[in-house]
Structure 1
Amino acid sequence: MTDESTSADRGEVTPPEFDPEDALVLDDDRFAPENVALVTGAASGIGRATALVLAENGLTVVGTDVDEEGLAGTAEKADEFDVPGTVETVAGDLREDVPGIVESAAEHGRITYLANVAGMQHIDPIEEFPMDAYDAMQDVMVRAPVELSKHCLPRMREAGFGCVGNMASVHGHYVTSDKVAYNVAKFGLRGLTQSIAAESRGDTEAEGNVRAFSISTGYVKTPLVTDQIPDTAEQRGVSVQEVVEDVMLGQSRTTEMMTPVEVANLFAFGFSEHASHLNGGDLRFDDGMTLTYE
């Protein structure tokens, strides 16, 4: 019996702690202290794991989030694990503070990587979906990545290279009910990725060395996902275990959700020179959730 199913039997699913031994470390001369990776949503979940994995690869990481306490926890983890790179933090609201966040990140070196990870969730059918929640989700998950890209891309071109990684989702390929804002946002992030790629062929080699990719996973054991399990169970009149096994993994060809560090490793690979031809593409690690059937 897996840890996940055991915790589900207790009525809970708990996100795992980061373990540096699980980090993918790549041989890449550009993963150096003078190069900055700006990571949103860095206070927890995939954002925290991405910040730590990129720091394990020797980069200077600037993590941003509205959650100052969570950001401090990410920096403490970096110190605890004595990562080769560094994790700096800048608290900010992606709905208001994007220019300042980018300026603060640039104080630590050349911004060459941007990981748009921050996400939100709200579950309601379209007829009942509160528009203030919809607007907040679009601001954080679509508008902010566009604005961050707008401010970071010129810095990448000036540096001679760079890459934007966008945290999309299996919900950017097909959708489930009661998540209209999330579904729309994830399709939007794939559109942003492809838009950056469409504009990446510049007049000079440096301008053309800037690219973008997205990552589409199924369900990942993050606070964003695990916190919605009880609500989904109540809404559907089923148990927590049934939500995990039937709702979240019912279309999947696996019995376990991904972990945050597994997703963070995809960002590290996508940013690396090993992925130099990954431009506009989507790394779909969905455990067979799409394009398969029984």
Structure 2
Amino acid sequence: MPASTPLEKKVVLITGASSGIGEATARRLAAAGHQVMAGARRTGRLAKLAEDVRAAGGALEHCALDVTRRDSLESFVEAAHDRYGRIDVLVNNAGVMPLSPMADLRVDDWDRMIDVNIRGTLHGIAAVLPRMREQGAGHIVNIASVAAHRVDPTAAVYCATKYAVRALSEGLRQESRDIRVTLVSPGFTQSELLDQGGAPEAQAAARAAAQQHAIPATAIADAIGFALEQPATVDVNEIVVRPTTQH
């Protein structure tokens, strides 16, 4: 299959699409005319998202998805391919961020970040890469964080997972010729990322900073849209999007 041009409508798969950056990206790309397959564990939210998008004239299907399970991502990709006949874009967005000092030894939180942030990204790549190579075209967008470029107290393990996503993205880019790879690293962004797990004091401090600085998730969705809309010969490799007030 020939590479897509900026004018072609693309089949876009988005993980973690029930809230935050994933939801905003699904709405933005569907509004631009792309065919979106949204995945997440919270299927009720996905159903509401699909209802909203379709009411606005967009095209969005949804599917239950747990990125920590390889078979779940394979089923997600297969469902999209069966419906649309191709996979143009994967947005690896699902992520968790339970912050805590390492001395707290919240090993279950560490394991969850590794499973979602690293394994989830790898499972997504493994599920779409063979189909994209067969097509001779495709675009993988991995959502990292400014934490992929710096390390902060209480975020050591989270930063480690996002550094890993950055390394995986660069390695895949160097190995690819027909497949584009984009790493998007948001700063403080309005989302539910700080609502689960972690040490209460660390999470509260991060929430307070986010309330002061956070930009809307639509700003990240616009950055993703920009990368997708470039000609097939242009690969936007890295985008860092921070609030102007964030150091």
TM class by shorter chain equals 0.7 to 0.9
The alpha carbon displacement at 1:234 in A equals: 7.8
Counterparts of residues 85-234 of structure 1 (less than 5 Å): 86-96=59-69, 97-109=72-84, 110-200=86-176, 208-225=177-194, 231-232=200-201
CA 1:211/1:289 → structure 2, altered by over 3 Å: closer, same or farther? farther
- Paired residues in the alignment total 240
Query: In 1, are the aligned partners of 2:154 and 2:202 still within 8 Å (CA)?
Result: no
Q: 1:46 — aligned with what?
A: 21
The structure 1 residue matched to 2:235, chosen from 278, 282, 291, is 278
Whether the aligned pair in 2 keeps the contact of 1:269 and 1:275 (CA below 8 Å) is no
What is the TM-score with the length of structure 2 in the denominator? 0.87
Q: Give, in whole Å, the separation in 1 of the partners of 2:244 and 2:96.
A: 24
> Displacement of 1:274 after TM fit?
4.5
Aligned AA (2:95): G
Change (3 A) 1:282 1:62: same
Q: What is the RMSD computed on CA atoms of the aligned residues?
A: 2.7
**2:151–2:159 CA contact under 8 A, matched in 1:** yes
Matched to 1:124, the amino acid is S
Distance 2:113 2:155 in 1: 11
233 and 179 in structure 1: CA distance in 2 versus 1, 3 angstrom threshold: closer
Distance 1:184 1:233 in 2: 17
Structure 2 Cα separation of the partners of residues 108 and 29 of structure 1? 21
Q: Distance in 1 between matches of 2:149 and 2:52?
A: 34
For each residue in 1:117-148, what CA deviation from the matched residue of structure 2 results, as whole angstroms up to 9, or x when unmatched? 11112121111132222112211111121121
- Classify 1:234/1:278 alpha carbon distance in 2 versus 1 (closer, same or farther; 3 Å): closer
CA distance in 1 between counterparts of 2:240 and 2:165 reads 14
Residues in 2 aligned to 1:184 and 1:272: alpha-carbon distance in whole angstroms: 30
Residues 137, 158 of structure 1: alpha-carbon distance in 2 compared, 3 angstrom cutoff: same
Match of 1:24 in 2: none
Matched, 1:74 2:49: yes
Taking structure 1 as reference, are residues 52 and 193 closer, same or farther at Cα in structure 2, changes over 3 Å only?
A: same
2:73 touches 2:123 (CA, 8 Å); kept in 1? yes
Give the share of equivalent positions with the same residue, in percent.
28
- For the residues of structure 1 that align with 2:41 and 2:191, how far apart are their CA atoms? 17
Q: Which amino acid aligns with 1:37?
A: V
Q: C-alpha displacement at 1:156, in angstroms?
A: 1.6
Question: Which residue identity lines up with residue 174 of structure 1 in the other structure?
Answer: R
* C-alpha distance after superposition, 1:51-96 (max 9, x if no partner): 111111211111100111121121122023222xx11101021112
Q: Deviations over 1:212-237 (max 9, x none)?
A: 01111210011224779x9447866x
**TM-superposed deviation, 1:159:** 2.3
Q: So what's the TM-score if we normalise by structure 1? A: 0.74
Whether the 8 Å CA contact 2:18–2:40 is kept in 1: the answer is: yes
How far apart, CA to CA, are the structure 1 residues paired with 2:96 and 2:203?
A: 20
1:205 alignment partner in structure 2: none
Paired residue type of 2:223: L
Per-residue CA deviations over 1:12-67 (Å, capped at 9, x if unaligned) read: xxxxxxxxxxxxxxx9223x2xx421100001110011111111121111110011
Whole-angstrom distance in 1 between the partners of 2:42 and 2:164: 24
Q: 1:61 aligns with which of 25, 36, 61?
A: 36
Q: Which runs of 5+ in 2 are unaligned?
A: none
In the alignment, structure 1 segments of 5+ residues that lack a partner are 1-26, 201-207, 250-254
8 Å contact kept, 2:93–2:143: yes
Change (3 A) 1:89 1:131: same
Q: Which residue of 2 aligns with 1:19?
A: none
